């Protein structure tokens, strides 16, 4: 009986008792109850953290609530009709070819080349031993509604079923038109258990291109061993289609998820300078990426040929940016920046000139720069470029004006202060590198035979004058000393970087002290070059300045630290730890977890757009001579630094509590709400992050316990085990034998794994991404590359430094071209698009799952997220928290969940979507 209730969506006992009611004896009709409690439905408008923008929907003339005949079991099965309401999302813009095809489809729809649907029951026909199916229904009035300009259009279709049909668990869709269309949802009206919802959010390809029928499952979740008999074959068939066979070149319309090495970053056919090593495999371990199947290059059969901009790279069709995101911001506008703005900037500066003074930098925001647009002028006028490049004071003159970054909005000179330099280590673009110093001096882990002595040049006398009377040991014991250590990350690459034209780097260590008022301050910076022999002066220590000369030397040292920080932030914490390492889990989820699986439904919003943005990154950001190589100090060695960091990456330390403990920024404490206690109380990323982490973990635990009350269900769930196993053994194949991979045997194991993945995709990525322009848009605050080393008294250029330290400082920063190119890109990457879906939101909030208890748990999660936002606002007004409140101090809002579109330095999207 319980199984019947689960499958039918309503109790058979209730159904039978209703047959004897006087109302039914007289009328033989039943008005269907709602599948979801109406009180829960009314809460939909409270789920969103910001007011949702809804497009116009073309109304349908039919009434959605119908009366349905009900027959007793003793009667002979009788056929009756049910109806589908199908919501199709229109394209906002169509090119000429698409418009012609659309009109052709409208004409041919009338003669049978239409869209056909078929209901598939959860039950097996005892005679044929296959799932029961309805008659075929076609979408009505397609030709009549083809010219509607509404964002969404509702169509209807009717089906004939008999009274023994049961309940539909799937719908097959055949698109006989010439072109694809986006199917958002299907709602079936007419069954006794109420409306049945089939969320789809997928492109329906034309039958001529993809002959197989598309399968859309009902929103009711099923574990594999609970799958109704009528759906078992379809469940396996759909997964098989998504996996593909691993062969052939992928078409843009395909929905196939598979793995490949990072063997497409270089382009050896264009010359040796664009050759790059393959990432992934024994030689250079790295995560796997989505396979495209492109042919190899002519020069090297092991290197995949490139698809250069503006041609699109393959990702499965449903992973591509939706039109609103593509059109309003990300894809179209990022390409506009990369393909048109940057060449214009390059042609505007005949030589790679330096900024002549800080006034030149200020003029980028007040006066703009003159672009010699030449033949590209008319093209640029038509491009939907980002906000900061669309504010042309006089477009005919090609003036490009950048928005003022937030770092300058409250205090134009804050970037010069040591306390601001330190504050950004815990509340800036990269709060993930700082660690508590547990012993002094720090020691390298590199091989001394290759890289020289492991000892640091830092001595107690360097930092003692800045410890407020404490000894070094006292400061260590009382958790007062912290470090940002880039020595071992950079030292193996410094010689190669410094041999590049216009690039200069050190391996750096920065020591911070927590002052009595709770704020950090830098007390020493160590600068290291590769060891060149016994008499080599490879290590150098600078301390806070005492006069004019040391002020400028200290300023240069901080700039080198910031440059290194920008590189590690982008290549390790941002790209590797959120983008690259999540991609295998996403690929495996689509390949191994059915859309009916409850864990797929949980992860779905946290996988949105990630494969697309990663493909775009391979095409234009992390590729040979791409933005990362052009704008950051490591140059052509950038991705090798990322790959070197992957060797030390561990999934079991990626959760926020585990990461804080690993870095010594927190200690285990079972009395605390999240099981850890911060050692630095005013750590905005850590303290706000724990609130978000706790909300995610609580919701995931409730969700997991609902479907997995005991460990036996975890172990027997073949899809779940295959997903996790493939993520490790294929997606992270180079690390598959590591012993630190968490097991997946208990509900607690699953809660930990899922919470970590959702944290990384949402809050972790948001904290690392959306402050790039607010802090990096003013290049002196956070230079992405340095072009000069710091002069010593014996150096020939030391005299030039003394004569004009400002000129020397500016010549060490990126050139005008490098700076403006970098600013244009990080502005785009820091922008929220209007269709952003934030933590606590999801599409179809009341019907994404057919399980009312789970929907209720999601509403509670949304409410908790809103409460967290209020607490973050309160903290940003607390004057005792110096790292987020004070004169000229920017509030820490990167983990405030909601945001308006644009560059806001706040907002936590559900997924890695930019």
- The SS3 call for residue 466 is helix
- Between CA 814 and CA 563, with CA 800 as vertex, the angle to 5 degrees is 25
- Token look-up 């027959």 returns 71
Distance CA 334, CA 621 (A): 11
- Token look-up 């987020």 returns 884
Distance CA 338, CA 627 (A): 8
Distance CA 219, CA 835 (A): 23
Inter-CA distances, 386 with 329, 335, 566, 769, Å: 7, 10, 23, 17
Buried/exposed 132-157: b ≥16 CB within 10 Å, e otherwise: bbbeebbbbebeebeeeeebbbbbbb
Distance CA 86, CA 88 (A): 6
Tell me how far apart the terminal alpha carbons of the chain are, to the nearest angstrom. Answer: 48
Name the H helices within 708-776: 711-716, 718-726, 747-759, 765-769, 772-776
Residue from 263, 769, 876, 910 carrying the catalytic annotation: 769
Distance CA 353, CA 817 (A): 8
- The SS3 call for residue 664 is coil
Distance CA 315, CA 257 (A): 8
Residue from 574, 590, 597, 883 carrying the catalytic annotation: 574
Residue 7 annotated as catalytic = no
- Cα 396 off chain centre by: 38
User: What tokens does 5 get?
Assistant: 């209730």
Contact at 8 Å (CB) between 828 and 386? yes
Contact at 8 Å (CB) between 833 and 330? yes
Distance CA 742, CA 10 (A): 39
- Give bridge partners of residue 400 from the DSSP assignment: 369
- 445 by Cβ neighbours in 10 Å (0-12 / 13-18 / 19+) ranks as exposed
The sign one gets for the Cα dihedral 690, 692, 698, 703 is: negative
User: What tokens does 88 get?
Assistant: 């199709």
**Rg, the chain, Cα only:** 30
The sign one gets for the Cα dihedral 783, 785, 789, 791 is: negative
- Give bridge partners of residue 509 from the DSSP assignment: 485, 526
- 202 by Cβ neighbours in 10 Å (0-12 / 13-18 / 19+) ranks as middle
Distance CA 99, CA 92 (A): 12
Contact at 8 Å (CB) between 785 and 818? yes
Parallel, antiparallel or unpaired: strands 259-260 and 214-217: unpaired
293 φψ region: left (φ > 0), alpha (ψ -120 to 50), beta (else): left
User: What tokens does 848 get?
Assistant: 């994404």
Please name the residues in contact with 684: beta carbons below 8 A apart, sequence gap of 6 or more.
426, 427, 431, 875, 881, 883, 884, 892
Residue from 569, 765, 832, 883 carrying the catalytic annotation: 765
- Give bridge partners of residue 124 from the DSSP assignment: 131
Contact at 8 Å (CB) between 751 and 761? no
* Nearest CA-CA partner of 151 in 87, 204, 199, 90: 90
Distance CA 690, CA 194 (A): 41
Distance CA 216, CA 322 (A): 19
Residue from 579, 590, 606, 732 carrying the catalytic annotation: 579
Residue 769 annotated as catalytic = yes
Residue 579 annotated as catalytic = yes
User: What tokens does 520 get?
Assistant: 């950090």
Residues taking part in catalysis: 574, 579, 765, 769, 914
């Amino acid at each position: 009986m319980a199984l019947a209730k689960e499958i039918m969506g309503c109790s058979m006992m209730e159904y039978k008792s209703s047959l004897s009611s006087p109302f039914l004896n007289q009328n033989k009709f039943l008005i269907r109850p709602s599948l979801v409690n109406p009180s829960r439905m009314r809460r939909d408008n409270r789920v969103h953290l910001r007011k949702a923008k809804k497009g116009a929907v073309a109304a349908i003339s039919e009434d959605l609530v119908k009366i349905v005949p009900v027959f007793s079991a003793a009667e002979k099965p009788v056929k009756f009709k049910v109806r589908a309401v199908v919501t199709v999302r229109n394209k906002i813009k169509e090119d000429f070819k698409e418009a012609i095809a659309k009109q052709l489809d409208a004409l041919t729809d009338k003669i049978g080349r239409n869209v056909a649907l078929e209901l598939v029951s959860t039950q097996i026909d005892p005679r044929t031993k296959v799932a029961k199916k309805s008659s075929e229904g076609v979408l009505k009035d397609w030709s009549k509604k083809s010219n509607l300009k509404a964002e969404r259009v509702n169509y209807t279709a009717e089906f004939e079923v008999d009274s023994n049909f049961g309940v539909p668990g799937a719908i097959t869709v055949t698109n006989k038109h010439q072109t694809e269309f986006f199917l958002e949802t299907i709602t079936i009206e007419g069954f006794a258990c109420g409306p049945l919802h089939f969320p789809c959010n997928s492109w329906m390809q034309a039958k001529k291109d993809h002959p197989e029928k598309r399968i859309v499952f009902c929103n009711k979740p099923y574990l594999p061993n609970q799958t109704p008999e009528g759906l078992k074959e379809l469940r396996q068939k759909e997964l098989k289609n998504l996996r593909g066979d691993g062969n052939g070149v992928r078409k843009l319309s395909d929905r196939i998820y598979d793995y490949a090495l990072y063997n497409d970053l270089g382009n050896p056919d264009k010359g040796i300078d664009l050759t790059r090593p393959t990432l992934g495999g024994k030689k250079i371990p790295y995560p796997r990426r989505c396979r495209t199947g492109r042919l190899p290059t002519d020069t090297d059969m092991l290197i995949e040929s490139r698809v250069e901009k503006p041609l699109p790279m393959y990702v499965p069709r449903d992973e591509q940016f939706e039109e609103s995101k593509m059109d309003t911001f990300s894809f179209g506008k990022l390409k506009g920046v990369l393909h048109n703005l940057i060449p214009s900037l390059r042609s505007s500066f005949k030589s790679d000139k330096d900024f002549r003074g800080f006034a030149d930098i200020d003029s980028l925001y007040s006066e703009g720069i003159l672009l010699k647009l030449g033949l590209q002028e008319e093209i640029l006028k038509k491009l939907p470029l980002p906000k900061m490049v669309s504010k042309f004071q006089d477009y005919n003159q090609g003036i490009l004006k950048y928005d003022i970054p937030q770092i300058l909005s409250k205090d134009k000179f804050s970037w010069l202060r040591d306390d601001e330099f330190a504050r950004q280590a815990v509340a800036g673009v990269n709060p993930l590198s700082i660690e508590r110093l547990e012993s002094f001096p720090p020691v390298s882990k590199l091989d001394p035979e290759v890289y020289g002595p492991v000892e640091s040049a830092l001595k107690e006398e360097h930092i003692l004058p800045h410890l407020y009377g404490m000894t070094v040991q006292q400061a260590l014991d009382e958790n007062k000393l912290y470090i940002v250590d880039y020595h071992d990350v950079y030292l193996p690459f410094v010689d190669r970087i410094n041999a590049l034209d216009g690039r200069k780097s050190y391996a750096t260590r920065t020591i911070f002290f927590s002052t009595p008022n709770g704020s950090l301050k830098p007390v020493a910076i160590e600068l290291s070059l590769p060891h060149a022999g016994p008499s080599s002066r490879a290590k150098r220590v600078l301390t806070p300045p005492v006069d004019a000369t040391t002020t400028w030397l200290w300023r240069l040292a901080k700039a080198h630290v910031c440059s290194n920080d920008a590189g590690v932030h982008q290549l390790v914490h941002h790209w590797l730890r959120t983008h690259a390492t999540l991609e295998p889990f996403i690929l495996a989820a689509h390949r191994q977890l059915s859309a009916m699986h409850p864990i797929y439904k949980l992860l779905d919003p946290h996988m949105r757009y990630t494969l697309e943005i990663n493909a775009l990154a391979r095409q234009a950001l992390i590729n040979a001579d791409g933005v990362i190589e052009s704008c950051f100090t490591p140059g052509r060695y950038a991705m090798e630094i990322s790959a070197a960091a992957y060797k030390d990456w561990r999934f079991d330390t990626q959760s926020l509590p585990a990461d804080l403990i690993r870095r010594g920024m927190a200690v285990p404490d079972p009395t605390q709400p999240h099981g850890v206690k911060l050692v630095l109380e005013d750590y905005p990323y850590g303290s706000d992050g724990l609130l978000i982490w706790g909300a995610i973990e609580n919701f995931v635990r409730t969700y997991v316990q609902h479907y997995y009350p005991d460990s036996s269900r975890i172990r027997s769930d073949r899809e779940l085990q295959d997903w996790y196993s493939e993520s490790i053994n294929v997606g992270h194949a180079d690390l598959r034998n590591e012993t630190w991979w968490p097991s997946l045997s208990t509900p607690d194991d699953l809660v930990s794994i899922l919470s970590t993945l959702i944290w990384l995709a949402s809050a972790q990525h948001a904290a690392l991404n959306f402050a790039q322009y607010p802090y990096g848009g003013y290049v002196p605050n956070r230079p992405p590359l340095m072009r000069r080393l710091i002069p010593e008294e014996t150096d020939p250029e030391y005299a030039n430094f003394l004569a004009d330290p400002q000129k020397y400082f500016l010549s060490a920063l990126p050139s005008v071209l490098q700076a403006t190119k970098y600013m244009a890109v990080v502005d785009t990457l820091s922008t929220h698009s209007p269709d952003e879906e934030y933590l606590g939101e999801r599409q179809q909030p009341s019907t994404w799952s057919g399980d009312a208890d789970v929907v209720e748990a999601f509403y509670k999660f949304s409410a908790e997220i809103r409460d967290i936002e209020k607490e973050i606002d309160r903290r940003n007004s607390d004057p005792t928290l110096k790292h987020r409140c004070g004169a000229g101090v920017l509030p820490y809002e990167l983990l405030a969940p909601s945001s308006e579109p644009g560059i806001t330095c706040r907002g936590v999207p559900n997924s890695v979507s930019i």
